[in-house]
Every structure is written in C-alpha cells, then in structure tokens.
C-alpha cells in the first residue's frame, strides 16, 4: 500500500524573467518501509520534491498524499501539526537553533510533542551516542564543526520516532566513517521500526544502500528502478 503518493506534481518558480519548472509532472508511489534515493544533477528538482512531500512547500499543480492525507487540503496550522507527528527532516543546511545545545536541538520536537523529560533524556543521549557525538551534547552549533552539526540534525530527525524521514544530502560534510555509521543506523531503523526513508543525494554510499533509485533531470523522472 502506498503511504506517499504524488500525482502530476508540478512546481513552477516564476519570480525571475524566465519561469523555472523545478518539478515537472512527477507521479510516484512510495510504499511503507521503503529506503529510496532521489538522485540527479544539481537543479534537477530533488530538494523541491522532498519539500513538497514534506509539506514545506506547496505545488503549483498536482497533488501529494501522505499517510492517506491530502496535504493540499490542509491549512498551515494543520500542516505544522501533521509534520510534527509524522515526519522527520534532515536539512542540507542543518537548520539547528543557534542558542540551543546539541541535546536541546535534538529533543526540541519531542518537547513540542509533550514527551516526558525522562524519555527525552534517554532517547536523545542514546541517539547522540549512536551518531558519534555524545560528548558534544552540551555544545551549541557555533562550537561544533559542520560534520558534527549534520549529525545533530540527523539525531533530531530520528528522535521523535517519525513514520517518515526526508533527508536532503544527509551525508554531506561527513567523513567516510561517520557517513557509513549514520547510514547503518538509518538502515537499522528502517528494518526494525519500518521507518520510510527518502533521500535526496549525490552520495554513492547512499545510492548503494537504497532499494529504490529515482533519477530526476530538469524536474522530470528520468528513471525509477527498484532493486
């Protein structure tokens, strides 16, 4: 059964002199528990597609349904609540809150969900250890390297036990060992908890682990291969 479904999804940016079709008539179905990589050159529409699936951006036309919910029927408050309860995001630019520590950034969504302090502490410290930065728990983003901030962003995305994780270049700025460890952790969650992962990536390590690879070019699906 499809848990994510896009139908004739199109996103046009026309602020400049030339309209750009960032996503152009994309129809895909993602089933529960998939581990999917969306690949393609820069500007092919990968990030835009993930942002629309995650309800961070709205399409110019077409529809997107996540967990049987039509995102286009929701107002902004409903979308915020839906994302909070269902989706974990890993942003390429990290999007960490500068005044919060690594621990506080990681537990932030759990705090909004009303998770108890004891459960938050246990889950967050375990995740920070698993991504290899347990000793950085009390440091703020400005005191960490780009790779360390990326690992905090991954821990934050996983902390709330989301049904779906949308990850935009999650291994960017990571050394090989850290990237391998993070991907192994994500695969473990995928297998043990049936979390659905969709990656936007150029990283061959992510592509090699993916069980489905969707290739975009100029906003269109060039190929869609399952393994």
**How far from chain centre, in Å, is Cα 157?**
7
Q: Is the pLDDT of residue 2 over 80?
A: yes
Rounded CA gap, 165 and 153, in Å?
A: 12
Dump pLDDT digits (tens) for 177-225: 888 888 998 999 899 889 999 999 999 999 999 999 999 999 999 999 9
Tell me what pLDDT residue 220 has.
97
pTM of the model: 0.92
Domain residue extents for the chain: 2-226
| Choices 3.50.50.60, 3.30.1360.70, 3.10.20.340, 3.40.50.300: CATH for 2-226 | 3.40.50.300
Strands 2-13 and 61-66: antiparallel
CA angle 175, 105, 35 (to 5 degrees): 55
Q: Which residue has the tokens 């969900």?
A: 113
What was the pLDDT predicted at 107? 95
pLDDT at 18 over 90: no
Distance of CA 62 to the CA centre of its chain: 21
pLDDT of residue 94: 86
pLDDT at 83 (0 to 100):
93
């Amino acid at each position: 059964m499809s848990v994510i479904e896009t139908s004739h999804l199109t996103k046009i940016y026309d602020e400049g002199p030339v309209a750009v079709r960032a996503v152009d008539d994309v129809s895909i179905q993602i089933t529960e528990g998939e581990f999917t990589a969306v690949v393609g050159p820069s500007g092919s529409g990968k990030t835009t597609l993930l942002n629309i699936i995650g309800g961070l951006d709205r399409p110019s036309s077409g529809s997107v349904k996540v967990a049987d919910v039509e995102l286009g029927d929701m107002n902004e408050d409903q979308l915020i609540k839906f994302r909070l309860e269902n989706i974990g995001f890993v942003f390429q630019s990290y999007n960490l809150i500068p005044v919060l520590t690594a621990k506080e950034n990681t537990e932030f969504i759990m705090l909004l969900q009303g998770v108890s302090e004891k459960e938050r502490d246990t889950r967050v410290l375990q995740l920070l250890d698993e991504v290899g930065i347990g000793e950085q728990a009390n440091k703020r983003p400005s005191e960490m390297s780009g790779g360390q901030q990326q690992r905090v962003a991954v821990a934050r995305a996983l902390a709330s036990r989301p049904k779906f994780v949308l990850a935009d270049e999650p291994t960017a700025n990571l050394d090989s060992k850290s990237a391998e460890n993070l991907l192994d952790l994500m695969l473990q969650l995928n297998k043990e908890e049936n979390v659905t992962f969709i990656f936007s990536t150029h990283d061959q390590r992510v592509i090699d682990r993916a069980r489905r690879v969707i290739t975009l070019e100029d906003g269109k699906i060039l190929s869609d291969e399952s393994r």
